[in-house]
A = this chain, B = another copy of it.
Amino acid sequence: MTSLERSLIIQALEEDTGRGDPTTAATIDSSIEGKAYFLAKASGVLAGIDIAKEVFVLFAAQSHRENLVRFRSVGKEGSHVSAGEPLDEIYAPLDAILTAERVALNLLQRMSGIATLTREYVKRVQGTNAKILDTRKTAPLLRPFDRYGVLCGGGTNNRYSLAEMILVKDNHVAANGMDIRQVLDKLKKYFEADAHPLIPVEIEVTSLEQFRIILDHGGNIVSRVMFDNFEIGKLREGMAMNAGTFETEASGGVNLHSVRAIAETGVDYISVGALTHSVTGLDISLEIDHVPV
Give the number of chain A interface residues (Cβ < 8 Å): 97
| Bound-complex Cα distance A78 to B40 (A) | 36
In this assembly, does A243 line the interface, its C-beta being within 8 Å of a C-beta of chain B? no
Between-chain CB contacts (< 8 Å), 15 pairs: A2-B18, A3-B62, A4-B19, A24-B162, A27-B175, A27-B178, A102-B137, A106-B140, A147-B197, A151-B196, A151-B197, A155-B195, A156-B197, A171-B290, A174-B290
**A277 CA to B137 CA in the complex, in Å?**
17
Cα separation A5 to B26 with both chains bound (whole Å): 19
A190 close to B (CB within 8 Å): yes
- Would you give the 0/1 interface string for A141-155, flagging 1 where the beta carbon is closer than 8 Å to chain B? 111000100011011
CB distance from A32 to the nearest CB of B (A): 7
Residues of B within 8 A of A280 (CB): 278
Nearest chain-B residue to A154 (Cβ)? B195
Q: When the two chains form their complex, are residues B197 and A15 in contact, meaning their CB atoms are under 8 A apart?
A: no
Nearest-neighbor residue (CB-CB) of A110 within chain B: B139
Asked if B16 and A102 sit within 8 Å, CB to CB, the answer is no
In the complex where A8-B141, A151-B196, A157-B197 touch, is A175 in contact with B3 (Cβ < 8 A)? no
> A193-221: which have CB < 8 Å to B?
194-199
A interface residues with partner B (beta carbon < 8 Å): 1-4, 6, 8, 11-29, 32, 34, 57, 61-64, 66-67, 77-78, 94, 98-99, 102-103, 105-107, 109-110, 113, 136-143, 147, 151-152, 154-157, 161-164, 166-169, 171-178, 183, 186-187, 190, 194-199, 277-281, 288, 290, 292-293
Complex Cα distance A2/B8, Å? 18
List the B side residues contacting A23 at CB < 8 Å: 162, 166-169, 172
Give A172's nearest chain B residue, CB to CB.
Answer: B27
Known: A106-B140, A109-B277, A278-B281. A162 touches B6 (CB 8 A): no
